[in-house]
Structures are given as C-alpha cells and as structure tokens.
Amino acid sequence: MRRGPHEIRLPMKIVVGNGLLEKIGNYCRKLGFNEKVLVLTGPHVYYVAGKTVLDYLEDSRINADYFIVKEPTFDVVEEVQEVIREVRPETLVAVGGGKVIDVAKLASFRENLPFISVPTAASHDGIASPSVSLKRRDRTPVSLMAQPPMAIIADVDVIMRAPSRLLASGCGDIVAKLTAVRDARLAYMIKGEYCGDYALSLALLSAKHVMRSVDLIARRSEAGVRTLIEALISCGVAMSIAGSSRPCSGSEHLFSHALDLIAPKPALHGEQVGVGTIMMAYLHRMNWRRVKEFLRRVGAPTTAKELGIDEYYVVEALTIAHKVKPRRYTILGETGLTWEAAERLAKATGVIE
C-alpha cells in the first residue's frame, strides 16, 4: 500500500545538561529570538524555575512577559492564544511539566508560533513530541497532533530536584513503548495501518535502553536521570518521524485514558500507562513480569492499590478502553474485553487481588 508524503518536523536544537537555565537568553538569541518572548509556566513551577528563566531572559536584554497556567486543560488553550495575540512574542517558552508544555504546544501551533520546551520534570514524553494529550474540564480526553518544540532545553539540575514520583512516572511512559510498538505492528497486519518501522524501532530502543539502566534510575543518579530524559526526547522524535503518536501510544494508553474518564481521582499519566503496560504485555504474550519488576524497582505503581484507584475502576477501564479511540486498533480489538475477561487479566498480573 502506497503512503502519501508527510512532513517531518524535528527540533532545531536539543540541549541536555547542567546549569542550562542561566543560558536561556543565549539559546533564544541563537535561534533568532532577540526582542520579545512569552514564558508559559505553572503556579508552583513559577517559583521553582519560571521566575529564574524570566530573570535570565531580562539579563540578556530580551523582553519577557509571562502567563501562569493555573489549570493546564484543553479549555485554557484559547485563553493562552488570546495572550499570544496581545503580547505578540517571537516565541513561546514553556517552563514546566508535560501538561503546561502541551498547552504551549497547541496554543503556539494554532497561532503559527514556534515554541521552546524547558521541562522541569521527566514525567512523560510530551516534553519533546508533536502530540498533545490534555483533558477538558469535564475530564474528556483530547489527543491530537500539533507541532514539536523548536528547541528543548533540559536542565538536569532542575529535573533532578523534581519529586521522585515524577521520574517514576516517566519510566512508566517509556516502558509503555514495548506494547505500543506491538500494537502498531498488529494494526498493520490486521488493518493495513502503516507506521514506519524506523519510528517504531526508535521508540522500542528507547524503552529497552531505559530498562537496561534500571539500577542508575533506581538510585536517582544523574546518569540515570539523563538516560531517561534522552529516552523521552527520543520518543518525541519517533512520533515526529511517524507523523502520529502510534510508536508511543497503544492499548496501555487507551487504558489510562479510560481511567481518566471514570476514576474519581486518577493517578499520574505515566503511572497509569505503566500499570496498563503490565496487563497489555500479558495479552501480547510478552514478558509482563519483567515489565512489572522494572516498574517496581524504579518506584512506580504496579497495582490498583498503589495507584490509589479502586479495583472496580481498573476492571471497568479495561472494558471500555477500546472505545476511547475507536480508530486506533490494538490488542484489545474492536469489541474490547468482557468484564469477566478484564477481571481475569487484572488478577492474573496481580494488578488487582
């Protein structure tokens, strides 16, 4: 089957290292942004890194306005667009976690504006990807493609100061590539849905490399944190090459989206997809025990109890996951799992008792 051309947009600059925030002005100037930028950040992250970025931009004689995203949901994107039209910056600098970066990604895309990603945590691959995954205020998930960042400035010192739970969440999002790639290849065999093998191989390599570095990550060493950051960025590049989120998002992500819809208090994205990966690896007849052991060693949840979610919602999420993105074919098929099959799956993998 012939596939039409698609444009591959990749970041122009990726920098991972120590003490990078103080160089943000230099990076902006090298990218051609000399006059005015708009910094997007969160209410807590403003004091952790956002204000620091603003100060260094001003020191570089770059006029910097800022906007604090109090509620990083899909509904706030239009508000950010209005601020962009008012300020008229040369670029948007997103300082924060994955959700703030996703808001910046979509708002800048809609306004035809480049953006720079300055992650403060390595919690999921949204820091580098063209993919946006946000919730509306009614908790309905919205997933779509926008644009990758023009540049990624990942200050390891800042990211290492983030709560260890966020690092573990990033590990959950990375290990999910094991089942996402299997789902993509299954969709090709069953439905003829093409996804370039290079992009799939890159996502798979990222997951395997992180799993091999489990000891470094478990110790929260700088080398381990760098490995995770680089793997998350690599997965973002894989999605840019594929032109979709296929290499990095499969049945395990559908399970997480379903939990977001029904659970009274969902866990972190990476935590949920990690648990989903355990169960989807079982369905794919992969070594699910290895996945579970990796997550356990890095401090990520492996059970409903550890997620803080009632077992009932885990089973229900398994039964409705296939409906979240009906066009995305996965191991769950077109009809999904019955309640009995979902309960057996969750019990067999120890996710529920």
Place of tokens 């770059």: 62
Edge-to-edge, what's the strand order for the sheet holding 63-68? 13-17, 151-155, 115-119, 91-96, 36-41, 63-68
pLDDT for res 133:
87
8 Å CB contact between 94 and 40: yes
Model confidence at 28, in pLDDT bands (50, 70, 90)?
Answer: very high
Task: Return the closest-CA partner of residue 184 out of 240, 257, 242, 246.
Answer: 246
The pLDDT assigned to 7 comes to 78
Q: Is the pLDDT of residue 253 over 60?
A: yes
| Euclidean distance between the first and the last CA atom of the chain, given in angstroms as a whole number | 46
| 98 pLDDT higher than 90 | no
pLDDT tens, residue by residue, 214-236: 999 999 999 999 999 999 999 99
Total-model pTM:
0.94
Could you tell me the two tokens for 59?
């020191």
Structural domains of the chain, ranges and CATH numbers in brackets: 13-162 (3.40.50.1970), 165-348 (1.20.1090.10)
- Indicate whether 2 pLDDT > 80: no
**Residue 9's Cα: distance from chain center in Å?**
18
Question: What is the full DSSP assignment across 266-333?
Answer: ---HHHHHHHHHHHHHHHTTS-HHHHHHHHHHHT---SHHHHT--HHHHHHHHHHHHHHSTTS--TTT
Top mean pLDDT of 6-15, 187-196, 312-321 is at 312-321
pLDDT grade for 139, boundaries at 50, 70 and 90: confident
Average pLDDT (172-195) is: 95
Please check the confidence at residue 350 and state whether its pLDDT lies above 90.
yes
Crossing angle (nearest 10°) for helices 251-262 and 177-191: 110
What tens digit of pLDDT does each residue of 175-186 get?
999 999 999 999
Confidence of residue 3 (pLDDT cuts 50, 70, 90): low
